[in-house]
Every structure is written in C-alpha cells, then in structure tokens.
Amino acid sequence: MPQRQERRIGGALFAGPDNPKRYELASFRNLHGRLRRRHERLSRLAYVYGVSDQLLQFHLECLRLVEHRPEEETRHGTFLNAFIGLSTKVVSHAESIRSLMGIGRYGDAAAITRGFIGDVTMIRYLSMYPEDCPDWVELLTLRGLTPPRRGRYRQLFEKFRESTMRRKMEEAGCRPVSAKGYGSYSEALHPSAWGLQFYAHVEPHPKADHTHTFYYAPTYEPWVALREASVMTALLLEPIESFMYWCEKAGVTWHKELLARWSPIQEMAIRTCEAGMATATAMFEHFYRPREEDSGSI
C-alpha cells in the first residue's frame, strides 16, 4: 500500500536477510536526505521544532546574561558557574537529538534523552540547594581514573546520586517534568531486551497490539519523531525554569527583562508539548494498532 511505503522509508527497503542492501552501509547513508525531507514535511513536528528553537534561544540569552556577570558571581562553587557548565550539555543534547531524529536514529536520540534528563535534574537540584554547589565541585576534584569506594568521595557520590536528589526534591514539593518516563529512557541506555524497542521499527500485527522488527538501516516513524521532539522540548523548559527560580530566590534583579518575557513562552511551550504528545499517541493508535477488519490479513 502507498501509505505503508511512505511510512517505512528505511524499513521495507532493507527487510529480510536475503536482501543484500540490508548489510550495505553506503545504502543506509543514502537515505539521510530523504529522511530529513520527510521529517521536515511533518507539519506538527515542524511546529514543535519551532517551539524548541524558541526555548533553546531563550536559554542562550540566559547564558549570555550570566556570562556577563562579575567574575565573583560565576566562580567555581556557585550556582551560576554550575548552570554555565551544565548548559553546555543541554545545548549539545538538544541539537544532537534533533540531528539524530532527522536521519531516523530514534534509539540513539532516546539514549541522549536519558542523559538530558540527568543534566536538567542536576540543574533543578542545584537551583533549589545552591549551598550544595561547592560539594558538587569537590566531587570532581576527588575523582580519578579509578574512583575510590569509600571516604569523602563515596559520601558525595551518594549525595548526588540521581535517585537521592529526586527524593529530596520531591520531599520539598517539586516533581520535575523529567520525572515522567525516567525509567523508560534509562532502558534505552541499557542492553536489556525491553530497551531494544527504542532501536526497532514498530509493525502492525493482526494478532497483537504491535510487534517490533529490527533493521540496521534508519527508519521513518512519524509518531516516534513527534514523541521524542515533544519530550526534548519539555526538557528544555526545565533549565530555564530552574534559572528563573534561582534568580528569584537569590533576590537578584538583573534577570527581570527575561523574566517579563518568560511566562507567555513557558505557557505556549507547555501547551505545545501536551498537544504533541497527544497527537503522537493518536498517530500510533491510527497507524499501528490492529483493526478488526485487518485481522484476516498480514
């Protein structure tokens, strides 16, 4: 069917162990241009990307403001110094996820998303407990090629364990956006059978909800792309919200111009993420869930 062929770029072309193209690296890479164009034409995805660009640009404006503060305000052991350092990863993660999704490498985008979750969680934690920033820096100085198993390093390692930080934040009444799907994205990094679904193509199946088929070539799955883009956009909200929270808590005033602009951008981004996830779910239900009238054919 034309609809299936459109949806399975990079899938049907490389199906079956008897197809030599299944094992040709050059053939995989020849798909990149087609996959990028297909993703760019997905209107809802393009809209989510536009919102994520606004958030990323706003984040860069926050960084420009911070980097022009007096040196004593951004020295090691301060929240602003940690914010600058961790934001390097935030920007890189967002750009990398987008690049990988454009060529249909959704599994690797999901793996980077897991790292992204950890980084924005750390920014959120340090914004709430800036007095812990010196300890965060000290942890770096204590680590060598072989981290010690006990002593001060172990004490600080446990303090900044992600589960420990999350528990402390939740006890303070904060549940980060990144808490949603945390366990699922962790599996994308692990060699578990469950985690392999991030690297497989979802196929309709007449006798089950869905089945996963493995291709070495990249694939085109619009619902996955839209879901991952919506998650990435939701994560971009967190470091900005954390920065604004710290500024208000610290009683500074040099962020007021950005704060005045932030609320409408934040509200629009939240609506976009919610709509993107709802659309991705509806797309999956429409294209991948088996229908009763299809139950007699494969």
Q: How far apart are CA 100 and CA 211, in angstroms?
A: 23
| Residue 153, φ and ψ in degrees, nearest 5 | -60, -45
Q: Which domain holds residue 59?
A: 2-294
Into how many domains does the chain fold?
A: 1
Q: How far apart are CA 286 and CA 137, in angstroms?
A: 49
Q: pLDDT digits over 270-282, tens only? A: 999 999 999 998 9
At residue 289, the pLDDT reads 63
Place of tokens 């860069």: 60
Per-residue pLDDT of the chain (298 residues), as tens digits, is 334 444 456 666 677 788 888 889 998 999 999 999 999 999 999 999 999 999 999 999 999 999 999 999 999 999 999 999 999 999 999 999 999 999 999 999 999 999 999 999 999 999 999 999 999 999 988 887 777 778 899 999 999 999 899 999 999 999 766 556 677 788 888 888 888 888 888 776 655 566 778 889 998 999 999 999 999 999 999 999 999 999 999 999 999 999 999 999 999 999 999 999 999 989 888 776 655 444 333 2
At residue 97, the pLDDT reads 97
At residue 187, the pLDDT reads 83
At residue 208, the pLDDT reads 57
- The half-sphere exposure of 110 on its side-chain side, counting CA atoms within 13 A, is 24
Tokens found for residue 286: 């429409």
